[in-house]
Structure 1
């Protein structure tokens, strides 16, 4: 090959390289955001699983590079946050309930990194946004179903910690139950753990022994107790009816996708700021829903389901608002 012919090929090679770089696939790869998540519990824990699922979906679409750490001790949380922040991640997601001060300190030290944290507190300018599983609307609907299915009028409720995020769901559930049966009685217990199925199971057994025939399973382990004793359970955050087809009647489902997708878009467009993403977990944004009744579709009384469907319609049209009560719920059973 002559020197001239080699030189004549150079513009063509340059054009080919430019075309390759401009291809949609490579452009997408270059546009991928680096996202990290930090969880204090296992990926399979129901609350965390919804965040993890939404981020995995974004990764599968090619939008992000996703890294995550599970079972991070509270004492290590700040260190892991700093490692991810210094590692070039543009968005860090997690839950800061037990490490609020440390998480906010890290955010202040890295003002160019976006933080989206489950939190009971307010947003912190310029880069610390908060979110929450605002699923009190479907929780209200499941309470209606629970009261309609209870023969004893006694419902047991097992929660993790009495923090606002849990309390408001329990109160909404209780309010929904009272709409169907104003005389329903509740036994409420908190196990002071986010992931201790054996402890939750024992708490549920104690409630069954006191006459509860429907159990609100805010934590894993409760549905196992209900199944063993032939009682019913109401799920929370995820739908476990496939594992408990004769036990779990209904569930209030949380969809984290609307929240995650909005945060990713804001980061990508340079519009991320400190704000409350909690409302994007509500039904009108498709951030939550009442799970299909599945195996219980023909077992829930028709008159109860008619009231549930009417109430759901009122919620979606804005005619009815589920009250948010963040105070610790109390037992009412005598």
Structure 2
């Protein structure tokens, strides 16, 4: 089992805490108050610094800081170890187990079946299961669409490069929404699309981005770490994904689609605290109307993006929030047009 030193240090006496043994509500143990602190554990297959996982991790750290939970985690957990780590956390009495099940669906769901009084919240492309296996996903296509609008108005070569990890729904829907946003502003843009076959390989992503820039791209969609490094070196622009990397690339990253996991995590915590946790799809909590995603502030690009373009972006953003404009969720693999 791959367990980080951070997890060991933070676990402290947490593993010695007993699971709540109060009366059952909807089949779930609860303590004397819905405000009781609960034990939460996460299992990650990548470093907590990785974009996607970092948002889950940050939301859980925020809940711990508020005093709502005791939180421990394992990172860089091999797929072959994932089930074992989940079981260890369940056996230790953690009431909520969070993670990403994309490569370990069968194993993760088997664990949930064996621990029916434990709540599981896993990133997944599939449906909830039984009474205790809920799923979430990065439905931030609305914010991705807005970044596409900005990219469509900023490109001069009408050639945009896109580098992703794997062509799975979680990646595809954001890329497709970005492309739709680009084309609303500039239907003449052509796209280069590549996948590196890894969730965390910055050198490979960087080399792939270099190739697209050499082929004419003047804006890069940075779905993976490494892409913005290439853009910075070649002095082209980049669009961020999930987290705001502009502080690291102040002259490169124009805008980012931000994922806020707090609404998802907070809903799960409250459900466990109240004894009402059930198997459901948490995807909706990533939508803009729930505060699950947003367009990052322009920051260093304030004033550099044309005011007329930003007016269109803000109008579209408001229409999304008001329910007057729906960004399509397209999970199929995006295709290059360049």
| Residue of structure 2 equivalent to 1:205 | 210
| Post-superposition offset of 1:183 | 1.3
| Residue of structure 1 equivalent to 2:14 | none
Instruction: Give the whole-Å Cα distance in 2 for the aligned partners of 1:62 and 1:165.
Output: 31
Map residues 92-131 of structure 1 onto 2, 5 A cutoff: 92-131=97-136
Deviation sequence 1:259-308 (CA, Å, 0-9, x none): 00010000000110000001101110111000000111111112211111
- Determine whether 1:185 maps to 2:190: yes
Instruction: Give the whole-Å Cα distance in 1 for the aligned partners of 2:143 and 2:53.
Output: 19
Map residues 91-240 of structure 1 onto 2, 5 A cutoff: 91-240=96-245
| Residue of structure 2 equivalent to 1:245 | 250
Higher helix share: 1
| Post-superposition offset of 1:147 | 1.0
Count of aligned pairs? 307
- Determine whether 1:293 maps to 2:298: yes
| Secondary structure of 2:211 counterpart | helix
- Determine whether 1:82 maps to 2:82: no
Deviation sequence 1:80-138 (CA, Å, 0-9, x none): 01111111000000000000011011101111000000000000021000001110001
| Secondary structure of 1:133 counterpart | coil
Q: 1:60 aligns with which of 48, 58, 65?
A: 65
Instruction: Give the whole-Å Cα distance in 1 for the aligned partners of 2:107 and 2:188.
Output: 45
| Secondary structure of 1:130 counterpart | strand
Displaced runs of 4 or more, over 2 A: none
Gaps in structure 2 of 5+ consecutive residues: 1-31
Gaps in structure 1 of 5+ consecutive residues: 1-26
Instruction: Give the whole-Å Cα distance in 1 for the aligned partners of 2:243 and 2:260.
Output: 9
Instruction: Give the whole-Å Cα distance in 2 for the aligned partners of 1:317 and 1:208.
Output: 37
| Residue of structure 1 equivalent to 2:56 | 51
Deviation sequence 1:28-85 (CA, Å, 0-9, x none): 9x92101000000001001101100110111111111111000000111011011111
Q: CA RMSD in A?
A: 1.2
Instruction: Give the whole-Å Cα distance in 2 for the aligned partners of 1:295 and 1:32.
Output: 40
| Residue of structure 2 equivalent to 1:5 | none
TM-score under structure 2 normalisation? 0.89
Q: 1:282 aligns with which of 280, 287, 297?
A: 287
| Residue of structure 1 equivalent to 2:17 | none
Q: 1:42 aligns with which of 44, 47, 64?
A: 47
Instruction: Give the whole-Å Cα distance in 2 for the aligned partners of 1:47 and 1:160.
Output: 11
| Secondary structure of 1:31 counterpart | coil
